[in-house]
Structure 1
Amino acid sequence: MIDPYSKITTIDMWSDPYISKQMLKHHLSFDNYIASRRYQTIKKTVEFIHSYIAPRQRLCDFGCGPGLYTNVLQQKGHRVYGVDISTTSLDYAKSHNKHVTYKQLNYITDTLNQPLDVAMMIWCDFGAMAPEARSQFLRNLHQTLVPGGLFFFDVFSEKRFQTLEESYTSKEEIDGFFMEGPVSIESRMVLYPELGLSLSYDKAVGQKIIELFNWDKHYTIEELEILLHDYNFELVDYFSDTTGQTDFTDNELYFVVAKRI
């Protein structure tokens, strides 16, 4: 079994010229859940966030992708920033809304240098960070948010982890997700029950070799409360999905609202 977080390839996935174009395609298709949620869910999420916060807020979407959330939030009167590592996604976002300020940076190692009233991170990116990266991000965010500023983010729940099973699959494809030409792909799901952690591992062999390690931490609310408190945030609210629902019967995620202390 691979040591948890021994290899991190998140930036590789978003910076690879070919894969980043595939990710953008999935972002914009709305017919699967590879890169984003359905458009109607995105609209309902924006409506919920907008209803929760004060008017005309300085707001940043960390990991904004092609601007699916930032566009709508800007149209509702907020001063919106979008941050992402992918130039492919940012180029698309910039071409579709000149009124949003987009910046390419690594939000783990770099700071926005812009005071914010509201921050958001959606598509469970928070749980994909290694512990050291998560700590650095929260320290940076604490410096960026004004006192009392809000942070909206979603994470996978412990209930989702209970539904996962370890697995192995292999397949062949041509001009697929990873690269042009014929490719052999091995995929594994590896579970770390004591950590509530899952690893989705893909190895693609074709004209080159690509390995992707995607880690997902699954949280309980108690874990989130302790974690946020350690970095001077308070968990003020949580929901069973990003649209503000509160049915926790089979929820696969928590949508959390935290306040900067």
Structure 2
Amino acid sequence: MNYNLDLLKKPFPFQSGTLTLWSNDYIAQNVIKRHLDGSVDSGSRKTDTIHQTVEWIQHLKPMSARILDVGCGPGLYAELLCKRGMYYEGFDISPYQIAYAKQHNSFPERANFYVDDFRTWNSEKKFDLVLLLYGIYSFYCRNDRIAFLKRVKSNLSENGGIIIEVFTPLHYKERTDTVDWEYIEQNGFWCKTPYLELNSFCKYNSSLILVQTAVLNDHLDIWNSWIQTFESSDLVEELTEAGFEKIQLYGSCYAAPLTAQSEILCVYAR
């Protein structure tokens, strides 16, 4: 077997791998299972945390508010928000996630799902609140983040706002660079048949993290997951550059106070 070993070289920041979480049906279904496990923070936040976030959103916005959920996954927020009289629109880059969300849409008259990309999304609609929860904002490079914020700003209603939830550097403070491997005989996350899984965790600098997996069987594939962490001043700077003026800082996606020990940074910006 001939492998492209260049794939194992250290990638440049935000370089894509050859694998995605929607590369095929097998991987995508395993991702959906993680999203639906409400007992842990995995694909999505725990069920209790989602409910707390929805309660905060209800406090911020009236019953008829129009919500845009960026990276909506299987649409776990849709039913909760629609039950409160809101209108929901969610998009995700994974067609598998959107297919699941559409199939389980309990409010077709109030909720809408479609496949789109954070980097190219555009709309003529107006929204009262845009959600970027559980680190979605941190998966992209700065230029893509600023460009998206500017597009969102032009799509907000008069009193519209955006909620962004990211990690602070404290979340990874105790973790060190690691490399490990495991032989998976069958029914692994990435493949049903046997494969060798190589995992690495790497801090590129004080704020950028790479979580990488190499899947080796009859060929070699790489999954790169980039995570940009933020100090509050960094996130405020990006929002200000995009035209946001009123920015409130919190320590969770349900408006807990932000402290010097917070591993979560959440902003509500208008």
| Shorter-chain TM-score above 0.5 | yes
How many residues align? The count is 258
Q: Does the 8 Å CA contact 1:122/1:153 hold for their aligned counterparts?
A: yes
Radius of gyration: which is bigger?
2
Higher mean C-alpha deviation, range 14-23 or range 100-109 = 14-23
Aligned position for 1:165: 176
CA distances 1:183-239 after superposition (whole Å, capped 9, x unpaired): 111111111225x11110110112443211111111111111111111101352121
Q: Which of 74, 80, 87 is 2:95 aligned to? A: 87
Q: Which of 122, 145, 163 is 2:133 aligned to? A: 122
Give 2:195's aligned amino acid. V
Map of 1:144-223 to 2, 5 A cutoff? 144-173=155-184, 174-194=186-206, 196-223=207-234
Measured in 1, the distance between the counterparts of 2:233 and 2:57 equals: 23
Measured in 2, the distance between the counterparts of 1:18 and 1:146 equals: 40
RMSD of equivalent CA atoms = 2.0
Measured in 2, the distance between the counterparts of 1:156 and 1:203 equals: 25
Aligned position for 2:66: 58
Measured in 1, the distance between the counterparts of 2:72 and 2:214 equals: 27
Q: Does the 8 Å CA contact 2:258/2:265 hold for their aligned counterparts?
A: no
Give the 3-state SS of the residue equivalent to 2:229 in structure 1.
strand
Q: Which of 113, 118, 140 is 2:151 aligned to? A: 140
Give the 3-state SS of the residue equivalent to 2:119 in structure 1.
coil
Measured in 1, the distance between the counterparts of 2:93 and 2:229 equals: 24
Give the 3-state SS of the residue equivalent to 1:150 in structure 2.
strand
Give the 3-state SS of the residue equivalent to 2:153 in structure 1.
helix
Aligned position for 2:47: 39
Aligned position for 2:5: none
Identical-residue share of aligned pairs (%): 23
Give 1:118's aligned amino acid. L
Higher mean C-alpha deviation, range 4-13 or range 21-30 = 4-13
Structure 1: which 5+ runs fail to align? none
Q: Does the 8 Å CA contact 1:188/1:200 hold for their aligned counterparts?
A: yes
Aligned position for 1:131: 142
The structure whose residues are more often strand, as a share, is: 1
Q: What TM-score, normalized to structure 2?
A: 0.88
Measured in 2, the distance between the counterparts of 1:150 and 1:183 equals: 46
2:31 is the alignment partner of 1:20:
no
Aligned position for 1:109: 120
